[in-house]
Structure 1
Amino acid sequence: MGVSDDCSTFQNLPNLWRTSLPNPDSSSHKYQRGYCVVFAAPALTGATRMAATAALRIGAGLVTVQAAQRGDIYRMTLPPEIMVQDDGEPVPDKATVLLGGPGGISPHHKRDLLRRSDLPRVIDSGALPDRPALLNGTVKTVLTPHEGEFETLFGPIGDDRRQAALQTAQRAQSIVVLKGPVTLIAHPDGRLIVNDRPDANLATAGTGDVLAGMIAGLIAQGMDVFYAAAAAVWMHSEAARRIGHGLIASDIIKALPNVLKTAADPDS
């Protein structure tokens, strides 16, 4: 499994989470493949579009964007497979995961997202709360900060990123994905998955939004939340490795079908 010297720390390799990957059969219908609801950014619409498209491409059966405003822009620019709801419409009863933060979030959608601890949630940059206590965190919650966002919310990282990620996961009672050249996936129970696959090509606008959508799309399908985060991080970096120089964030989404095949193949 790629265990490090610490029996609770694992290298992020597909054999760690491969058997947990969603595997729909021929009788599956769209609701069995999960329903991801994305709270839309009021202004930076491209971030929401990439996150929602990544969730769909990685296998979620349905994706809906809840637009606090600019619903018509989203309808015109999103892939036709993604639905758009206007402000005031409730979160669909069949939703299996909520995602908010890529590109920002309206204040009332942020409140809604932070209150909904009954559903798995992926909380990205713009939706991270001002105080950890507002999270009402559960191990069904995934936080995806980069280092600057992490320090704003939780305080200085210091010299030990691993310890900072683990302590924060326990404090927030949430899965913490601390993004960086080495991305850490920390569980409140003390487990840590290390994705030591640095790729400078990922240092470009929108790649974090794509990652958040990938995590949400796997969770939507019922994948274990901790392993969904790890699998998405691995596939994200694997796509970047294959694309190489000239990568833009939407390239990662296009690469996902082939990367998914590799991730699911035990002989790869």
Structure 2
Amino acid sequence: MSWTARDQEVLNEIEQWRQTLGKVAGNDLTNVYSKWIERSFSLMPDDLKKEIFSHIDTSLFHIHSTMQGFQLQQDERESILRTAKAFDDSIFQIEDIRKLKIDQLNYLSLQQRGRHRLYSLLQGGIAGSGGTAAFISDLIALLIINIRAIQYTAAAYGRDVHTPYEMTIALKLFHASTLPRKFQGEAWDELLDTLNNVQSDYFFTGSDELTNERWLEGPGLQLFKTLAIRMFKNKRAGGYPVISMAIGAAANYQLTRNVTEYAERFYQYRYLVEKNS
């Protein structure tokens, strides 16, 4: 099936967006932190590093699989299918959604993007009002919110993340979209290489390694958010640490905004490539 003028326009938007990745150099503080992470892991034995990242990867796979069993997940899938069916009544399962036009797919995804950005904003505000427990719960909540955002974006573009292949792709996408910005361009290219080497639409046959030293910089940078929150915690208005809450909300919103935009571009690209093949 050939592209429409709108399809070509979206592809041009994706290519322009790709050019913006990796152009952020970072400030002195984040660069120092990046070098510290790199130096610390360079001193570790390779076996220990491999074990650490293997445990993190396994945890991410377990979290992803567990979330798929929640009734809320099933309800959201049904909601996406019902909305898609309003565009085309021949749609009965997630994979059928790919028959829709790209702007219709974008509409389905837009509903999910806005919702998860709001969740992240509210969670950040809560984190900004609490202490150490709030910080720890914030990390866990951010992990869940952003994995869910990718799962629903995938579903909106007709990808069933219940299959081993799509689950692994979604987690690789989570890894790429939560990397420091300067590494995201290279990660994007690696994702596309993965798509170009597909041997099975159901089982993932490539490397299923997800995390590495670079990825740990992202969660580590959350510490800077916590420091900023702590600095302004006593600046209250009406009994609430308004500045701290605003910092937490803004930081979380920006992270989820970046994740959902990255996921959106990725699944748009897959749709266009398959449509033109």
Settle same-fold status: TM greater than 0.5: no
More strand by share: 1
Work out which structure has the larger RCO, using CA pairs closer than 8 Å and 6 or more positions apart in sequence.
Answer: 2
More helix by share: 2
Higher radius of gyration, 1 or 2: 2
* TM-score between the two structures when normalised by the length of structure 2: 0.33
